[in-house]
Structure 1
């Protein structure tokens, strides 16, 4: 019989709607933890589950670690429930967008990710609040947010669906007239999109923000001036760098963005809507994340 893995009580918050549904993560977790004699509890998110309900489940469980099983949106939801506390949060990547798992070097293999979630030490990282929305990974206004909206509206996922969404977005999206203030500096430009970056890369590994760190005293604002079909496809299918001629980067702890016309906005892969004003600020030591 295997030795008990740890004395910690674990709560797994599983999003059954994440990813392609090819793996039953509740079964995988149950088998793994039972085999390791690990004290655990599973909670599967219901459709339109409220933060108040998730907070109540966490409190009632008595768990010492909460593990989000899903994509970036699931992690964001769990993090909102324990924001600015010492509760450690683990992650089992199971979504269609697993940008933070890649950022934290958490493997896609479920058993390897489970081993890390149970045994690795937590560390504090910063987060951003953008228009009241918690942002752990990346938020952006403009082209990519429009692409997220188009992609979410398609009946099928995968590379072909993404390519279709990219073409639809390319032919229907126009450049933004943007203005944003950082400290005493005002930047005005035409742009394909503006990225508010806590992390360094999109889910495919393409580094939009190579200077970023999850635990430094700033977040980055990335002004992407031009886009092309190749730049679009890089976001999902490669880890090739963007053309540096098309990008400017700024560091700040707070930000105000204005656009002449309303533009699409997304946070951590979740489409928020159209707006023409974004305000963002950093929250230091916001999340106690478990990572290798």
Structure 2
């Protein structure tokens, strides 16, 4: 018998959470599935969760929220035999969209009830879990400013992106990847396990959720007009390049894969983890966690 624990983030996205709660109750009762509904913890503390899963014999934890809602819950469940489901109600929903989980609550619930699962990688950045994507620089500043806005949703995110893009200046970074070390001036660096920022805005076209590799995208110093063109081209035709390629360092966007890396951040460029602002550091140690959790997906 399945017993599902639902976590609803009451402030993610723009949806009516009362209607979402009613829909969950209705559908679970129709399918004769045991369930319980909780609201997410504002402080991100889920230390109680392991004991509750054991006590209540929970088989699945379903997270109703965006990418930033997923990380703290999943982090508390590493090495726990429980399936993770997603009802995407956030502003970006990058992991859900990469996994082909639809925004429709009814369709997302049907996927959860069918119970098909596969393993998904995650990664650690200075010991903190990320399920989808981290950014250092411009996109992290956008995430921070977005978090301060009273109104959520895509239109607000676009406004904050445009505002920060006009004011953006590049940061100095040093990357250490296996036996290679190089310095670069860049507007931002993305460390991706999924293929997109969210809202089907693809930044790492060749990323896979379970290939044991991280996709690294470095948007180098260039004119603002060239950034627009280069990022658009990256979305459509971005291809993995290797350090051995002759013109690697001449490209406007560096796109490569690795299982681990270190980023030196002397100017303390801001950081986001799965779309949520996070404390930055002068050095980031990043490593993949293969098959970190089991995701219910189509």
TM-score by length of 1: 0.88
Partner residue, 2:10:
16
**Secondary structure class of the residue paired with 1:37:** coil
Note the 1:243-282 alignment, pairs <5 A.
Answer: 246-282=252-288
Equivalent residues, number: 284
> What is the rounded CA distance, in whole Å, between the counterparts of 1:76 and 1:230 in structure 2?
33
Partner residue, 1:214:
209
Per-residue CA deviation, residues 137-163 of structure 1 (Å, 9 max, x unaligned), is 100101100111111112223454334
In 1, are the aligned partners of 2:190 and 2:216 still within 8 Å (CA)?
yes
> What is the rounded CA distance, in whole Å, between the counterparts of 2:154 and 2:85 in structure 1?
28
In 1, are the aligned partners of 2:205 and 2:236 still within 8 Å (CA)?
no
Deviates more, 1:36-45 or 1:282-291: 36-45
Unaligned 5+ segments in structure 2 are: 239-250
In 2, are the aligned partners of 1:206 and 1:239 still within 8 Å (CA)?
no
Partner residue, 2:61:
66
Deviation at 1:184, TM superposition (A): 0.5
Partner residue, 2:112:
117
Deviation at 1:79, TM superposition (A): 0.9
> What is the rounded CA distance, in whole Å, between the counterparts of 1:173 and 1:86 in structure 2?
44
Deviation at 1:77, TM superposition (A): 2.1
In 2, are the aligned partners of 1:231 and 1:242 still within 8 Å (CA)?
no
**Secondary structure class of the residue paired with 2:268:** strand
> What is the rounded CA distance, in whole Å, between the counterparts of 1:239 and 1:290 in structure 2?
32
Task: Find the partner of 1:86 among 81, 84, 87.
Answer: 81
Deviation at 1:203, TM superposition (A): 0.6
| Alpha-carbon distance change, 81 to 260 in structure 1, aligned in 2, over 3 angstroms | closer
| Alpha-carbon distance change, 21 to 222 in structure 1, aligned in 2, over 3 angstroms | same
| Alpha-carbon distance change, 62 to 162 in structure 1, aligned in 2, over 3 angstroms | same
What is the CA RMSD across the aligned residues, in angstroms? Answer: 2.5
Per-residue CA deviation, residues 238-268 of structure 1 (Å, 9 max, x unaligned), is 9982685531112211110012311100010
Deviates more, 1:142-151 or 1:116-125: 116-125
Deviation at 1:218, TM superposition (A): 1.4
Task: Find the partner of 2:102 among 89, 100, 107.
Answer: 107
Partner residue, 2:135:
140
TM-score by length of 2: 0.87
Unaligned 5+ segments in structure 1 are: 1-6
Per-residue CA deviation, residues 17-73 of structure 1 (Å, 9 max, x unaligned), is 221142422111001111222221112224325221333433332111111111112
> What is the rounded CA distance, in whole Å, between the counterparts of 1:239 and 1:47 in structure 2?
38
